[in-house]
Amino acid sequence: MGGRDKGQIRIVEAFLSVLIIFSAFTISANLTVTQNRTKNDNLASVGLQALIMLDSDGSLAKYIGDENWNGLRDVLNLILPTGVCFNMTVYDEQMQQINADIISNGGFGGQQIAFVEYVCASRGVTFHCYIIHLLLAVVA
Amino acid sequence: MKNCGEKLKRNSSGQLLIVAALAIAILISSTTIYVYEVSREKTATQDQLIAELVPAIKQSSRNAVISSLANASKGGEKSVLDANLNSLSKAYRSLNQYGICNLSFTVLNDSNYADGIWFSWSDTSGFGVSSAYANFSLAVYGLTANITANYAVNITTAVKLEGYYTIYGSEKSVSLICQVFNEGKPALAKNITLYYEDLGVWLPVNSSNNFSITDYGNGTYAISFTVIAISDPVLVSAHVTDLREISVQANATCYKA
């Protein structure tokens, strides 16, 4: 009887151990993924808001029209939060890439990558419509 | 002893099975909850992004109308508005991230507007208008949410010109107040060119006319110049370009003060 009790207690102990370890693993993994996702989701929103802000006075189209890629990179660096990497590609209406230079502030070391697609209409006398692809990542 | 051990093993195997089953059940339920939570967050985020896209589309529509009016006011065809908005609509249809994005529009046609464009430049009351108007209908069919919105874009640059003249010997000194408006609000001008009429001919005002202009910084400009004109009253015309490159003309009749 004593031996059987011992065995049962060991099983219960083992079960509890597994449960505790598994719970800890599940909760921590869940928390990590949730935090990553939240950052990732906010990132797309932050990127979209940055483009809207730049476009509000027509300066986004002006940078593109003037092919001032360095200026565009600098202004994006200023608007986006620190620790955010970006890589922008500008296309015309026929989806031909316009930017000859890379519009980016560094390598994508982070795991959380967000993508924003944006249409920019110019204000000038000659109308241009640009399609912008913006990739964002949080530096790890 | 051996029998007792085997008996114990046999007794424990059922309990082990239950424990294993319990563990598997917990594993499955945890996975299910996790997947559910992740998908719920993704849905909410996608909806939020689509909601944030609407102001961006309104802004693009506005920019396209501004560009069209700037073009038409500088001698372009009035049909440029329709063509530019078609390009914009096509660009939005090519987007993939937000689902299907359909932007349709109608340009205004009434007693003032033709193809969505209205110029009132020849009136001598001192008021000139360049305006464009289009109605938009937006429908975004996302994976998790649909958004529809109807809105109108009206871009108007107006100029109010009024003044008088005084006689100094053989010259007439003309004083004018020119006010520039964007959508009814005071706005700055990029360039102002003045003309006056003498015997049916419009002549430009330049430095030889002692031309001076004072910018008050609030969309109001005080202008003065002198002319040796036979015509009375003096007809003046202001050709104004605002900061959005939209041109407008206003004509005023100046009487002796």
Chain B contacts of A55, Cβ < 8 Å? 56, 59-60, 63
Q: For residue range A103-135, list pLDDT tens digits in order.
A: 998 877 656 688 899 999 999 899 999 999 999
Partner B contacted by A57 (CB < 8 A):
no
Tell me if A14 and B19 make a contact (CB, 8 A cut-off).
yes
Q: What percent of chain B has pLDDT over 70?
A: 89
Nearest chain B residue to A7, by CA? B12
- Cα–Cα distance measured from residue B23 to residue B38, given in angstroms and rounded to the nearest whole number: 22
Residues of A in contact with B48 (CB under 8 A): 41, 45
Chain A residues 62-91 within an 8 A CB cutoff of chain B = none
Distance (Å) of CA B70 to CA B59, B113, B156, B177, B243: 16, 16, 11, 24, 10
A-chain residues within 8 Å CB-CB of B25?
A: none
Q: Are A8 and B63 a contacting pair at CB < 8 A?
A: no
pLDDT score for B123: 84
- Which chain A residues are Cβ-neighbours of B70 within 8 angstroms? 123-125
Residue-wise pLDDT for A1-42, tens only, equals 456 677 777 777 777 767 776 765 666 565 555 555 555 557
Diameter of chain B measured on Cα atoms: 139
User: Where does the pLDDT of residue B193 fall: very low under 50, low under 70, confident under 90, or very high at 90 and above?
Assistant: very high
pTM of the model: 0.78
Q: Is B59's CB within 8 Å of A56's CB?
A: yes
B57, B74, B96 member nearest A125 (Cβ): B74
> Could you read off the pLDDT of B22-60 as tens digits, one per residue?
777 777 777 777 777 766 655 556 677 788 889 999 999
Close Cβ partners of B34 (under 8 Å, ≥ 6 residues apart) = A26, A30, A33
Question: Are the C-beta atoms of residues B61 and B87 closer than 8 Å to each other?
Answer: no
- With 0-12 / 13-18 / 19 or more C-beta atoms within 10 angstroms meaning exposed / middle / buried, residue A137 is buried
| Pairing mode of beta strands B247-256, B146-168 | parallel
Buried b (16+ CB within 10 A) or exposed e, A59-68: ebbbbbbeee
Q: Which structure tokens are listed for B7?
A: 């008996």
Distance of CA B208 to the CA centre of its chain: 40
Helix (H) or strand (E) holding B224, with range, is strand B220-227
Query: What ipTM score was computed for the predicted complex, to two decimals?
Result: 0.74
B1 close contact with A: CB closer than 8 A: no
Residue of chain A with shortest Cα separation from B43 = A41
d(CA B101, CA A86): 25
Q: Is there a contact between B70 and A3 if contact means CB atoms under 8 Å apart?
A: no
Q: Quickly count: other Cβ atoms within 10 Å of residue B140's Cβ.
A: 22
Please tell me which of the candidates A15, A120, A125 has its beta carbon nearest to residue B60: A120
- Compute the nearest-CA separation of B256 from chain A (Å): 39
Given this model, what pLDDT does residue B116 score? 96
Write down the pLDDT at residue B168. 87
Q: In whole angstroms, what is the distance from residue B157 CA to residue B129 CA?
A: 6
Q: What is the pLDDT of residues B55-107, one digit of tens each?
A: 999 999 999 999 999 999 999 999 999 999 999 999 999 988 888 899 999 99
Which residue pairs from A37-40 have beta carbons closer than 8 angstroms and sit at least 24 positions apart in sequence?
A37/B38, A37/B41, A37/B42, A38/B41, A39/A112, A39/A138, A40/A112, A40/A113, A40/A114, A40/A138
